[in-house]
Amino acid sequence: MPSGKKKNLSEYDVAAVPSGKGMKIGIVVSEWNNTITDVLAEGAVETLRKYGVREEDILVEHVPGSFELTLGARWMAEYSDVDGVICLGCVIQGETPHFTYICQGVTQGITQLNIKYNIPFIFGVLTTSNMQQALDRAGGKHGNKGVEAAVTVLKMIGLKRSLI
């Protein structure tokens, strides 16, 4: 890729993605900015299906906002036997006075979950300056961050399985 060209978020090496057969994946989706997060969720579900995760092994749950993603993901880990959890949200700076607090809260929260539990929790939260930047990353010119999150969870579960 020429230097300076922006990487499309959904570009990935298809051959490097492990099969999702036998995996159970949780997806927690923020309702806030749902025109964006619904597209992220669709991209994630489609990608998991493409790599062989069965429909019944994809659990999708919604939480009110990105700040609630951490607890929703924790409950998913504790009350269902998922192999990994994808967290999807969208926080837009121009429209959110407490942008920084929400972003810091969910970033630290998801980091803590990765440390506490022995499964991957994937950060699929768009933190953009405006709605256009979010649209560009939810099926627009920069791909779909939900696809990238699904590829990431498959790779992390694959890594774990290769080590144990």
In the list 10, 47, 66, 152, the residue contacting ligand DLZ (rule: CB under 6 A) is: 66
89 counts as binding ligand DLZ under rule CB under 6 A: yes
96 counts as binding ligand DLZ under rule CB under 6 A: yes
Among 53, 51, 52, residue whose Cα is nearest residue 12: 51
Least distance in angstroms from the C-beta of 131 to ligand DLZ:
10
In the list 16, 21, 35, 64, the residue contacting ligand DLZ (rule: CB under 6 A) is: 64
DSSP state of 65: S
Least distance in angstroms from the C-beta of 134 to ligand DLZ:
9
- Taking the C-alpha atoms of residue 121 and residue 110, their distance in angstroms, rounded to an integer, is 7
102 counts as binding ligand DLZ under rule CB under 6 A: yes
Cβ pair 20, 52 in contact under 8 A = yes
Structure tokens at 152: 């990431």
Least distance in angstroms from the C-beta of 34 to ligand DLZ:
9
Neighbours of 57 (CB within 10 A): 18
The maximal CA–CA distance of the chain, rounded, in angstroms, is: 46
Note the residues at the interface with ligand DLZ (CB under 6 A).
Answer: 30, 32-33, 64-68, 89-92, 96, 102
